[in-house]
Structure 1
Amino acid sequence: MDPPSTTNGLGHDAITPHPDPANGTRGVGTGPQVISTTKQLEVLVGPLLNYRRMSNEKAGEPIWHGSVLVVTTPGQTSPQLTLSPAGAVIASEGNAVFTGPGSRTFDADKLYEDTDKAFWRFMVQVPFQRFESKWSYAIKGLSYVDEKKTEKPQIFAVPSISQSMRILFHSCNGFSVGTDIEAFNGPALWNDVLRMHAEKPFHVMLGGGDQIYNDGVRVDGPLRPWTDIGNPHKRREFPFGQQMRDDCDEYYFQNYVRWYGQKPFSTANGQIPQVNIWDDHDIIDGFGSYTDHFMKCPVFRGIGGVAHKYYLLFQHHQAPPKSTFTTDAPATTHVGVEGTPADPAQLKGTFVMTDDQHDPSHIIGTKPGPYVEERSLNLYCQLGARIAFCGIDARTERTRHQINYPETYKLIFDRLSNELSANTEIKHLVLLLGVPIAYPRLQWLENIFSSPLIAPIKFLNKRFGFGGNFFNKFDGNIDLLDDLDDHYTAHQHKHERKELVHMLQDLSKKHSVRITILGGDVHLAAIGRFYSKPKLGIPAEKDFRYMPNVISSAITNKPPPQAVANLLARRNKIHHLDHDTDETLLEIFDRDPGPVGERKKSSDANHATMPSRNYAIICESSAHPTPTSSAPQPSAPVPPTTTVDGEAAQETSSPPDPKSNARKPIHAGEKGAGTGHPAANGLRETGLCGPYGLDVTLRVEISPKDPEGRTDGYGFSVPALEGGGYADQGSRW
């Protein structure tokens, strides 16, 4: 006889414990003890598509590896996904998926399940073809709990075997607390992303941090009573018990469901494969950059663990740790090498996969971070034929005085060196950091905010509320100070920053690979660059120190006031990193976006910073021939002889004039940077920087009043590194 059951209100029946047919003994915990009574796969959010890596599993036939995540109601059996060449899927109806030739079916692994939800991951692979291919996928029986949503097969693009990927880069995909969201038409720029994707598909989108803003947890969420405590000492000692953990867990989960299920962002999630790192707003504003004694308080340690759990699940499709920190479970307060130990209370009615292997693209730190007490997750993968990618987790190990452990840097650079040695076809390394690294210094502002002159004002704020929002609600310091402390250019990070740039220079010189750095966080667009001092007489094409920093932020959050952008532009000096390396911002913004007569976004003198929402497009600057036969093809394509405008491409610049202004163009690809540059539209190869260079486009919002999020483009190109790059020049060599 079947055991008695009672309906739980979600279309499931509660029953006695049952084995997990999808995972057997692969997890810990008994699960929520419910079985779905519907024939449909009840989906809360998804599908979310991730890119993981490429491999050569068969001689001459590289494989594209990715994953698809769906979040469902609990009690489901393992769902199935059908993947087909685009056009082969005929229909998806009810429980059936009708397919054509070349289709494959994938089963799902259950990563996590509790009484409210379950996370299912499909690991998918497709072969690279000798042409750009499109693939369609559908999940059997999928139906949304929200009946307003409809299900249809999703399509994504994979480059040809001879192509590198066309890259979308974005950051700060959410709104700060207190922002008038309606005034900015929500995440409107994703409409523009989808328009560009329809014209010429993106093969991958790189999330540079703050893919979601969880700051509301302290305003309209379970941390509000804690935030309202006026005494900083009482706030530091406040416990983070199981009830608060459960409440925060629910808040973070629902915020992810709301944001990741919202169009047009959700549409992009299912069609453009993601690769993400995280930053503070994925946890809470300023996490990691407050004073050490405050960062170690129970509440901050607790929300760090909860945010990390959902970061792994939603953004990496990875099983989370078994438990997170709570003060009423003493075992969880003493972290070991592997992170937080299991807590029976948290595992009650919960299933967690325990043998989930990290992907080969992951570079895992050797020890837990100081506040997020888990090991960092850094990334390496290849983006098609000639571009490599590295993403550095700059939040898990962050404190006010360090960004990453020295041991982590060694792991990352050992991996990079090994990969570049093994594959000499890689011509470009794209490095993703959470914050810009070639950016104007604001140390004078840090000094003011940290000076004794501020102490009396801080006292008045604590006692009488004087200064209002000028001070943050956590440690009582000036609210902007944690943002300044986040920057690589902050005084306490200067040594670490310099060492990182030197390690990148060494890598570039040793492997003859050009490095382009991506960074977000600052809510405006800019292009920074490191380069050899003009006195050394090295053309950019041969300069291993030439590293542009593409600064693209925010795709959704509001930009800073015009006055802040103008202040930063005035601070755009030519800085000297060391005896041989200078740095400054490129003056790329020749005019404001959109037609003449729109509201001005910056001063007439500011051509270096753009305070408007934006995203970036990166792709190779020359088209590469598509093989037409099955015979082995030469790995090096023929360089184009002309640009798209019919003019001969300039192969090598002259050495820079020591008396020239390096804020202006210093090589052929920067010449004419801005709206008139051939790379500005983001849809065609310029040919300006030869067969291995990159075209970079900043797509900048014209008006926040436009719900379609239309943008204007600013472009420049990055040359490949020729040979060893003048390896015998400069005092460091």
Structure 2
Amino acid sequence: MAAPKNVPLGYEHVTDTRNGYGNGPGIISSSEELEVICGPLLNYLCMSYETEYAVWHGTVLLVTKPGQRQPKLELKFLGNTAGAGAQPDLCAEGDNVVVDGLKLYADPQKAFWRFSLKVPLNPDAEAKWQYTITNMKMLSEASKSPSREFYVPAANQSMRLMFHSCNGFSVGTDVEFWSGPVLWNNVLETHAKRPFHVMIGGGDQIYNDSIRVDGPLKPWTKITSPRRRREYPFDNEMRKACDDYYFENYTRWYRTEPFATANSQIPQINIWDDHDIIDGFGSYTDHFMQCPVFRGIGGVSFKYYCLFQHHTAPPKSTFTTDAPATMKAGADGTTGADSRQLKDTYVYTETADDRSWIVGKRPGPYVEERSRSLYMRLGARMAFCGIDARTERTRKQVNYPDTYDLIFQRLRTEFIAARGQIKHLILLLGVPIAYPRLAWLENILASPIIAPIKLLHKRFGVAGGFFNSFDGSVDLLDDLDDHYTSRHHKKERRELIKRLQGLAQEFSVRITILGGDVHLAAMGRFYSKTKYNITAEQDHRYMANVVSSAITNKPPPSAVANLLARRNKIHHLDHDTDETLLKLFDKQPGGNIKGATWNQCTMPSRNYATITEVVAGSVDNGMQQQQQPTMNGDISNNATNSLPVLNNEKDGLMTLAGGPRGKDGHSPLHKGEEGVGTKHPAADGVSAKSGMLGGLDISIQVEINNHSKGGETEGYGFSRGKVRWQGVLNIEANVYA
């Protein structure tokens, strides 16, 4: 079918002439039906701005039986959403185009196909699109429909976001007691009320930990001698068994409803964490992390992380101890290919790195690949950066210093190119960074008083659940060492925050940090000390950390959440910056007791978060428009410039006269933090009616009852105001205004 006549850049028809169906398994099926193992899965890739048009780029992934004919996808424009304004002038309703599938990988068991999509954005109307893969024969219980629908924002809109993490169950969890992944039902209900343009996976999109319990690592885990476990070879036979495990676990989970439906309709952005590999990967002792088994599963898990979560081709081969070419990484990753791994196998190689990636300069210490952090625009006034905090992680390091340099170089380049259009940066970290410190607990668990218990455990199995099955350390230590607030990461954490503050100051950008991992909800904040007498609106140090976890895994006991809340003191990052948690949770969700009634800081219940930009004429429920009232004296830039200013010589920025709203971090720091919780306008996760024009309405949707299959939630909302300071470069050269 012909492409829409008025589409400025056309669509991306990607055909790999080398597919030839002779690379890997040849065509062995003459059926017209396309046998689908898993998918379709929809990803958001980036936006491009060419001439006067903005273009949305995304991908669809399909996993099929091998040896089938090249699949095709039909992309159709369904019109703009109700009440979104006039019909788009770029294409007419019903126009469609056919996109060829690109084979990324194939072996005798499966084939991965990627469809690359380009969608023009209408100047002022959100649009609805449909993609259809005909003749699909689903080999699972996932939706049998050949068509899926998704939404893209108008060119003048920022994207509406959903954020989640810890989407799976830890080993030994009673899945039936927790009713499975039912919060995805609530996500889809919210999406139906007002569509999400993207969903951000903050790590642990899948839990692969059972590989050591009922998978191919079970015999290795049972070895009692740490030395023998460290020296155990990871040969091609074990690699193949682990490869089969990761593939089967991915396909099982990614076609589980309602998660599968969400994956096919809401474009994804993902960063991995330890459970995408195995629990605690990177945070065990260095001599143990260097063992062949950990290096081997690091490579295999990276392969399927690339395919399922990023829709990109994997390395040709992964680490084994019986193929010397795979055992050492070069600048580009694994240096050589193993002919046994490539037997009857096709790997697409003629491709450049994903344009959204920020690729590390050197391989990780335990994964023979370079890190892949992310940058992409999220519409008109928002940008996104996700830091890969797992590939380079060790017990004493989160990322290499040169990786941070690459990330901040990319951000500065993009912000300069945007010429002041970017007002908000959404930064994704695998774990929270504004979070209560537990150094005292780390000190106890790492102290000599644990040694006698450890000896009893080694000889007689005493306190078996207290120690991990890998290096014999206290099991909780790998979780604590994962945290930015760990004593090992204290300096790295402080330097990262100070660089973010400098970026915010320079480019007049408000930074909001997302973090998961901890299986509870919270809202942390960094802010300038009261001695500077700066309002939050003018405070480049004011950054919120939205902590949303877990959407599927069980929460910790209420005693743990209460302990963390008792540690919610005014912490001092440095001489300029304080930090603490916001008292967000004004009541228990649905009246069901989750934690102590006095604990308003940490919520031990499953949850996910939503983020919506507040603009004049923001839609209230996705179906109608209404003008929003102003709040907190919301004023235009012209009005701001007419107010008296004070010159803070130390920081080189301009600030409005008048100090912070609260006396310290336990008090609201600005209007958007007053009246937070269930009664805040942002609490429903749908509206953008707080009136904080130019800011963000944020909600955390908390599960009420884990025995309900509907996944009903109680919403807790707060708002972030827009930036009201001029960046240093604005003041000096006015080049970004």
Q: 1:444 to 1:648 in 2, by over 3 A?
A: closer
Q: List aligned pairs for 1:143-542, cutoff 5 A.
A: 143-146=137-140, 149-340=143-334, 341-423=336-418, 424-542=420-538
- Pairwise CA distance, 1:686: 2.3
- 1:714 matched to which residue of 2? 716
CA distance in 1, matches of 2:27, 2:465: 47
Code of the residue aligned with 1:411 in structure 2: it is L
- Once the two structures are superposed, residues 636-691 of structure 1 have per-residue CA deviations (whole angstroms, 9 ceiling, x without a partner) of xxx96615xxx77555998556982412211011110111111101111124322x
- Pairwise CA distance, 1:700: 0.2
- 1:629 matched to which residue of 2? none
Q: 1:659 to 1:158 in 2, by over 3 A?
A: closer
2:100 matched to 1:107?
Answer: yes
- Pairwise CA distance, 1:76: 1.4
Q: Mean alpha-carbon deviation: is it higher for 717-726 or for 425-434?
A: 717-726
CA distance in 2, matches of 1:197, 1:179: 29
Secondary structure of residue in 1 paired with 2:206:
coil
- 1:668 matched to which residue of 2? 671
- The answer to whether the 8 A contact 2:76-2:95 is kept is yes
- The answer to whether the 8 A contact 2:699-2:715 is kept is yes
- Pairwise CA distance, 1:213: 0.2
Q: 1:186 to 1:655 in 2, by over 3 A?
A: farther
CA distance in 1, matches of 2:728, 2:667: 23
2:562 matched to 1:575?
Answer: no
Q: 1:726 to 1:659 in 2, by over 3 A?
A: farther
CA distance in 1, matches of 2:205, 2:542: 29
Secondary structure of residue in 2 paired with 1:119:
strand
- 1:616 matched to which residue of 2? 609
Secondary structure of residue in 2 paired with 1:256:
helix
CA distance in 2, matches of 1:547, 1:131: 31
Code of the residue aligned with 1:214 in structure 2: it is N
- Once the two structures are superposed, residues 467-522 of structure 1 have per-residue CA deviations (whole angstroms, 9 ceiling, x without a partner) of 01111000001111000000000001000000100110010000000000000000
- The answer to whether the 8 A contact 1:22-1:78 is kept is no
- Once the two structures are superposed, residues 515-566 of structure 1 have per-residue CA deviations (whole angstroms, 9 ceiling, x without a partner) of 0000000000000000000111000001000000000000000000000000
- Pairwise CA distance, 1:142: 1.4
- Pairwise CA distance, 1:720: 1.4
2:70 matched to 1:78?
Answer: yes
- Pairwise CA distance, 1:723: 2.5
Secondary structure of residue in 2 paired with 1:110:
strand
Q: Mean alpha-carbon deviation: is it higher for 650-659 or for 219-228?
A: 650-659
CA distance in 2, matches of 1:333, 1:491: 32
Q: List aligned pairs for 1:118-133, cutoff 5 A.
A: 118-129=111-122, 130-133=124-127
CA distance in 2, matches of 1:398, 1:625: 41
CA distance in 2, matches of 1:259, 1:517: 28
Code of the residue aligned with 2:674 in structure 1: it is K
- The answer to whether the 8 A contact 2:570-2:578 is kept is yes
2:629 matched to 1:642?
Answer: yes
- Pairwise CA distance, 1:62: 0.3
- Once the two structures are superposed, residues 578-620 of structure 1 have per-residue CA deviations (whole angstroms, 9 ceiling, x without a partner) of 11100000000111111x3x3x111122110000000000011
Which residue of the other structure, out of 43, 48, 68, is the alignment partner of 2:60? 68
- Once the two structures are superposed, residues 58-84 of structure 1 have per-residue CA deviations (whole angstroms, 9 ceiling, x without a partner) of x22100000000000000121110010
- Once the two structures are superposed, residues 380-422 of structure 1 have per-residue CA deviations (whole angstroms, 9 ceiling, x without a partner) of 0000110000000000011111111111111110010011111
- The answer to whether the 8 A contact 1:534-1:655 is kept is no
Task: Calculate percent identity across the aligned residue pairs.
Answer: 60
- Pairwise CA distance, 1:155: 0.3
CA distance in 2, matches of 1:176, 1:314: 20
- Pairwise CA distance, 1:215: 0.2
TM-score (norm 2): 0.89
- Pairwise CA distance, 1:210: 0.2
- The answer to whether the 8 A contact 2:289-2:295 is kept is yes
- 2:683 matched to which residue of 1? 680
- The answer to whether the 8 A contact 2:697-2:718 is kept is yes
- The answer to whether the 8 A contact 1:138-1:152 is kept is yes
- 1:13 matched to which residue of 2? none
Alignment coverage as a number of residue pairs: 680
- Pairwise CA distance, 1:29: 9.4
CA distance in 2, matches of 1:204, 1:30: 34
Q: 1:100 to 1:698 in 2, by over 3 A?
A: closer
Q: 1:33 to 1:82 in 2, by over 3 A?
A: closer
- Pairwise CA distance, 1:149: 4.7
- Once the two structures are superposed, residues 25-57 of structure 1 have per-residue CA deviations (whole angstroms, 9 ceiling, x without a partner) of 479994134522211111000000000001112
Secondary structure of residue in 2 paired with 1:446:
helix
- The answer to whether the 8 A contact 1:26-1:354 is kept is no
- Once the two structures are superposed, residues 319-342 of structure 1 have per-residue CA deviations (whole angstroms, 9 ceiling, x without a partner) of 000000001111111221111121
- The answer to whether the 8 A contact 2:437-2:567 is kept is yes
Code of the residue aligned with 1:458 in structure 2: it is K
- The answer to whether the 8 A contact 1:143-1:151 is kept is no
Secondary structure of residue in 1 paired with 2:59:
strand
- The answer to whether the 8 A contact 1:642-1:648 is kept is no
Code of the residue aligned with 1:36 in structure 2: it is S
CA RMSD, 1 decimal: 2.3
Which residue of the other structure, out of 33, 45, 49, is the alignment partner of 2:38? 45
- The answer to whether the 8 A contact 2:616-2:628 is kept is no
- The answer to whether the 8 A contact 2:300-2:318 is kept is yes
- Once the two structures are superposed, residues 124-165 of structure 1 have per-residue CA deviations (whole angstroms, 9 ceiling, x without a partner) of 011001211000000122111237751231000011111100
Q: Mean alpha-carbon deviation: is it higher for 338-347 or for 188-197?
A: 338-347
Q: 1:687 to 1:112 in 2, by over 3 A?
A: same
CA distance in 1, matches of 2:48, 2:147: 26
Which residue of the other structure, out of 539, 546, 571, is the alignment partner of 2:542? 546
- Once the two structures are superposed, residues 345-385 of structure 1 have per-residue CA deviations (whole angstroms, 9 ceiling, x without a partner) of 10011100011222211111111101011011111000011
- Structure 1 regions of 5+ residues with no counterpart? 1-20, 89-98, 627-638, 729-733
CA distance in 2, matches of 1:138, 1:31: 26
Secondary structure of residue in 2 paired with 1:71:
strand
